[in-house]
Amino acid sequence: MKIVSTFEHYELLIEEGNDPVQDPPILQAYMSSWDGPHFFDSLVPENKLVLDIGIGTGRIAKEVLSAGCKYLVGIDISPKTLERAKLNLEKYSNIELLKSDISRFVRPNTFDVAYSVLTFLHIEDKEQALLNIYNSLNDHGVFILSVSKDDEWLECNGRRTKLYPISVEEYIHLFQAVGFTIESVQETESKYATIIKGVK
């Protein structure tokens, strides 16, 4: 089985026609196993400046924009994925899409809310990523992270991609190490993931 980088994996997914925004309802329900009601209840994006970390093709951003967020910045490492997100979100003008990696992205004291689903499993230096998020939030800004239960390798379409799983307890420790106060830790209803909410 071929080993590919995270970048290659997501570029290939787009080439293979993978776009969760366009999924049929049964697949959309499956994807929502990593977020769902707890996640969206924590977000409260109305009139907020929002950072979407690993925006993908815009599955969650579409709901956040529909809920009335003031402005959304979406970052992703895959240009092909961002092109698809641009198409999926073309009716919204209050959005900025950037090719960037949260391990290097910082926009100091800017956002009211940041969130990430199915992205941190790919990040090796999680502490640096969390510090960048912390520094990009306004005072009292919140970060909502969906933490999935991952193996060390993601296998998909005949290829393998290295993952960097850690436990919920390790995530909580890192949140606190960079300065976040933990407001809540909740399992999703499907138990596919745990939602951690930290406040600056």
User: For residue 23, what pLDDT is reported?
Assistant: 78
In whole angstroms, give the CA distance from residue 158 to residue 62: 30
Model pTM?
A: 0.95
Domain encompassing residue 101: 2-199
Confidence (pLDDT) at 15: 93
Write the CB contacts of 68 (distance below 8 Å, at least 6 apart in sequence): 45, 46, 47
In this structure, the number of other CB atoms found within 10 A of the CB of residue 38 comes to: 19
Longest dimension (CA), the chain: 46
pLDDT tens string, the chain, 200 residues long: the values are: 899 999 999 999 999 998 888 878 877 877 788 887 878 888 889 999 999 999 999 999 999 999 999 999 999 999 999 999 999 999 999 999 999 999 999 999 999 999 999 999 999 999 999 999 999 999 999 999 999 888 899 898 899 999 999 999 999 999 999 999 999 999 887 778 999 999 99
pLDDT at 182: 97
CATH number of the domain residue 29 falls in? 3.40.50.150
Domain count, the chain: 1
The predicted structure's pLDDT at residue 28: 80
